Amino acid sequence: MLERASAKSTGELHKTAHLALVAMLIYIFTMFRSPGEGPVPFTYSAEVFPLYHREVGMGWAVATCLFWASVLVMFLQLMLDTMGATGVFGFYAGTNIIALIMIFLWVPDTKQRTLEELDYIFAVPTRTHMRYQLTKALPWWFGRWALQRKNAVLELLYQFDHSTDQSRINAMIQADKKRADRRAENGSGSGVQFENNYKYTTSSTIQEKTS
Give me the half-sphere count of Cα atoms (radius 13 Å) on the Cβ side of residue 128.
Answer: 8
Point out the domain boundary residue: 111, 136, 157.
Answer: 111
Give the integer Cα–Cα distance in Å for 158 and 123. 11
Lowest-pLDDT choice from 109-123, 142-156, 183-197: 183-197
| Secondary structure string (H, E, C) spanning 40-96 | HHHHHHHHHCCHHHHHHHHHHHHHHHHHHHHHHHHHHHHHHHHHHHHHHHHHHHHHH
Of 66, 84, 111, the last residue of a domain is: 111
Residue predicted with more confidence, 37 or 67? 67
d(CA 186, CA 170): 25
Domain assignment of residue 85, yes or no? yes
- Outline where the chain has alpha helix (H): 2-33, 40-48, 54-106, 115-121, 126-132, 138-141, 165-185, 190-210
- Regarding whether 204 and 106 lie in a shared domain, the answer is no
- What is the pLDDT averaged over residues 188-197? 46
Q: What mean pLDDT, rounded, does the chain reach?
A: 80
Q: Are residues 13 and 107 in the same domain?
A: yes
Would you say residue 8 lies in a domain? yes
Query: Stretch 29-58: mean pLDDT, rounded?
Result: 83
Q: Which domain holds residue 79?
A: 2-111
pLDDT of 161 above 70? no
pTM for this one?
0.63
Same domain as 10, residue 107: yes
Query: Would 17 be classed as within a structural domain?
Result: yes
Q: State the total domains in the chain.
A: 2
pLDDT grade, residue 111 (50/70/90)? confident
Contact 118, 48 (CB under 8 A): yes
Average pLDDT rounded to a whole number, residues 119-139 = 91
Mean pLDDT of 130-158: 91
Give me the torsion for CA of 76, 82, 86, 92, rounded to 10°. Answer: -40
* Within a domain: 202: yes
Q: Is there a domain that residue 190 lies in?
A: yes
CB 105 within 8 A of CB 133: yes
pLDDT given at position 194: 44
Domain boundary residue, one of 111, 127, 150: 111
Radius of gyration of the chain measured on its C-alpha atoms: 27
